[in-house]
A and B are shown apart, each in its own frame.
Chain A
Amino acid sequence: MRIIDIDAHPPVDAASFAHFFDRLNDAGIGLACGTLYAASAPDGGMARRLNEASLALAKREPRYIPALWGHPDCADQVEQARMIEIDGAWLDGAAEVLAAAQERGLPVSLRGESPAAAIMLAERYPSLKLICGGFFSRGFMPAQAAEVLAACPNVYLNLSGGIWIGNYVLHEWSRKLHIDRLLFGTGCPDGNPAAKLAAMKWELRDADEEVHSGIYRENARKLLGLEA
């Protein structure tokens, strides 16, 4: 199975691109979707430059699915993405980006969001597909994640958040969550892809094949509109 990492961020340094994807491949991950790496949310100018580099990378790296920083100053770039990433601090000015993503059916991955903010956004944009709970989210414990998924059918859960590799957490909660809206992610390079994948496999050791294929690939594939 070609595993899709919904939360992997190639380096800015173009000379390191191949190494980045080779190392993900070494960990067992075949496709990576994410913005180019920034240690903290970029400003508008930096976001635009990262987005341009991201699109250039996607043209020559088949293992990369481009995601663009959805900074309010970058609304004109949205249509070229497969996924948009929006920092929580940008939400007040992100109406144009969010409307464009909703119109074009592009999933939006949130960063630094709380469960309450995710619900509010999901209700305001009911046909926008939102990805929540990832590496930089705030307050997404299992019960809160279950609550958000139950309340909002347009919300997906990014399993790169640290809580989901806690011992016996996903093992137990995978039975209580909407399996078809769970997405495997690593947060690489801030998260260790091999460790994340091994932890996930351990947690899902008693789950059936359909759960595995959904979390590791099929849910993301459908969400991103990739061919089977």
Chain B
Amino acid sequence: MVDANTSVEIVDFHVHPMYDFHLPTHGVEINLRRFRDDLAANGITTACGSVIYRAMSGRPTAEYQRLIPLLNDQALAAKETLGNFYLPGIHIHPAFVELSCRELERCRAKGVRLIGELVPYMMGWSACATPEFIEIMEYARQLDMVVNIHPTSIADMYALSAAVPGLKLVWAHLSCSGGLTDHLEILRRYENVCFDISAHGTDRAGTLRQAIDRVGCDRLLFGTDYPGVGPASDIAAVMYEPLTDDEREAIFSRNAKRLLGL
């Protein structure tokens, strides 16, 4: 655990404030206070991400027309409670292009810069390289917003990465599902693309060194996926990798701050 009193700045690019998928099974209730206290106890200074929880997952597609603004309001409300500690990420849905673009406008006007993490499989969609999703992403690019997306199929990830040049696109979970080789190739080909390292990017020691040697340190973002995943392991893993101080700083905070304009 990083000493919370040290001067290391850590921006956790990938959290979910109201996540309740496995925690109740083990007798734990997540709330915003626990969310903030656990992350802060591990040295995390800023946390970014979308609201997901069981009741919003796996609903009939039509319901997301109502749920998308609701989830975004919940993220904005969490921001009210947590202040500068939390940067909300909002949801959109490719089945509702007009609504999604309105939500981008509405939330951007309230200072929101981040879309996601979007988790397509929870909301009944699977492909990003569709005309509908690309239209929304084109508008996100115009609004200078950043989008964080849970990995889809490798082919779809290549296709979206190429589809909207200039989109600030962050795929989640570097190296998940054995995808490291393709993830690094996507980073090599598309300079507008980043990856966050949450949950899987440090499963195996040496992954970050390998990634940096291939594509540099400027497009890897620290994340935990808290509270789905504990907040300590990824920090320790970044500290454990044979990285320079500059590379660690880039991953822990500099890259996220640059992308989000902090």
Of B26, B42, B204, B239, the residue contacting A190 (CB under 8 A) is B204
Whether A198 and B237, one on each chain, are in contact in the complex, defined by CB atoms closer than 8 angstroms, is yes
Among residues of A, the one whose C-beta sits closest to the C-beta of B204 is A192
Interface size for chain B: under 10, 10 to 19, 20 to 34, or 35 or more residues?
20 to 34
CB of A90 closer than 8 Å to a CB of B: no
Cα A190 to Cα B202 with chains together (Å): 10
Tell me which residues across on chain A come within 8 A of B232, comparing CB atoms. 198-199, 201-202
Whether B229 and A166, one on each chain, are in contact in the complex, defined by CB atoms closer than 8 angstroms, is yes
Whether B205 and A193, one on each chain, are in contact in the complex, defined by CB atoms closer than 8 angstroms, is yes
Nearest CB of A to B98, in Å: 37
Nearest CB of B to A156, in Å: 22
CB of B235 closer than 8 Å to a CB of A: yes
CB of A71 closer than 8 Å to a CB of B: no
CB-CB under 8 A for A192 and B26, given A199-B230, A199-B232:
no
CB of A17 closer than 8 Å to a CB of B: no
The B-contacting residues of A in range 176-198, CB under 8 angstroms, are 188-198
Among residues of B, the one whose C-beta sits closest to the C-beta of A141 is B25
CB of B226 closer than 8 Å to a CB of A: yes
Nearest CB of B to A170, in Å: 9
Whether A202 and B237, one on each chain, are in contact in the complex, defined by CB atoms closer than 8 angstroms, is no
CB-CB under 8 A for A203 and B230, given A172-B27, A188-B205, A189-B205:
yes
Tell me which residues across on chain B come within 8 A of A190, comparing CB atoms. 204
Whether B26 and A195, one on each chain, are in contact in the complex, defined by CB atoms closer than 8 angstroms, is no
CB of A12 closer than 8 Å to a CB of B: no
Q: Counting chain A CB atoms within 10 Å of each CB, which of B202, B228, B233, B237 scores highest?
A: B233
Whether B205 and A194, one on each chain, are in contact in the complex, defined by CB atoms closer than 8 angstroms, is yes
Cα A168 to Cα B232 with chains together (Å): 12
CB of A49 closer than 8 Å to a CB of B: no
Tell me which residues across on chain A come within 8 A of B205, comparing CB atoms. 23, 188-189, 192-195
Tell me which residues across on chain A come within 8 A of B229, comparing CB atoms. 166-167
For chain A, the count of residues having a C-beta within 8 Å of the partner chain is 27
Whether B1 and A202, one on each chain, are in contact in the complex, defined by CB atoms closer than 8 angstroms, is yes
Among residues of B, the one whose C-beta sits closest to the C-beta of A192 is B205
CB of A26 closer than 8 Å to a CB of B: yes
Whether B26 and A26, one on each chain, are in contact in the complex, defined by CB atoms closer than 8 angstroms, is no
Whether A198 and B203, one on each chain, are in contact in the complex, defined by CB atoms closer than 8 angstroms, is no
Whether B204 and A198, one on each chain, are in contact in the complex, defined by CB atoms closer than 8 angstroms, is no
Cα A23 to Cα B209 with chains together (Å): 14
CB of A165 closer than 8 Å to a CB of B: yes
CB-CB under 8 A for A198 and B233, given A27-B240, A167-B228:
yes
The A-contacting residues of B in range 89-124, CB under 8 angstroms, are none
Cα A75 to Cα B235 with chains together (Å): 43
CB of A105 closer than 8 Å to a CB of B: no
The A-contacting residues of B in range 203-260, CB under 8 angstroms, are 203-205, 226-237, 239-240
Tell me which residues across on chain B come within 8 A of A30, comparing CB atoms. none
Nearest CB of A to B160, in Å: 29
Cα A188 to Cα B229 with chains together (Å): 19
CB of B28 closer than 8 Å to a CB of A: yes
Q: Counting chain A CB atoms within 10 Å of each CB, which of B26, B42, B228, B239 scores highest?
A: B26
Tell me which residues across on chain A come within 8 A of B202, comparing CB atoms. 192, 195
A interface, CB within 8 angstroms of B: 23, 26-27, 142, 165-169, 171-173, 188-199, 201-203
Closest 7 CB pairs of A and B: A198-B236, A194-B240, A202-B232, A199-B233, A195-B233, A195-B237, A167-B230
Given contacts A195-B240, A197-B236, 7 further A-B contacts (CB under 8 A): A166-B22, A166-B229, A167-B23, A168-B26, A191-B203, A202-B42, A202-B233
Q: List 27 A-B contacts (CB under 8 A).
A: A166-B229, A167-B22, A167-B23, A167-B229, A167-B230, A168-B23, A168-B26, A168-B28, A168-B227, A171-B28, A172-B26, A192-B203, A192-B204, A192-B205, A193-B205, A194-B237, A194-B239, A195-B202, A195-B233, A198-B233, A198-B235, A199-B230, A201-B232, A202-B1, A202-B42, A202-B230, A202-B232
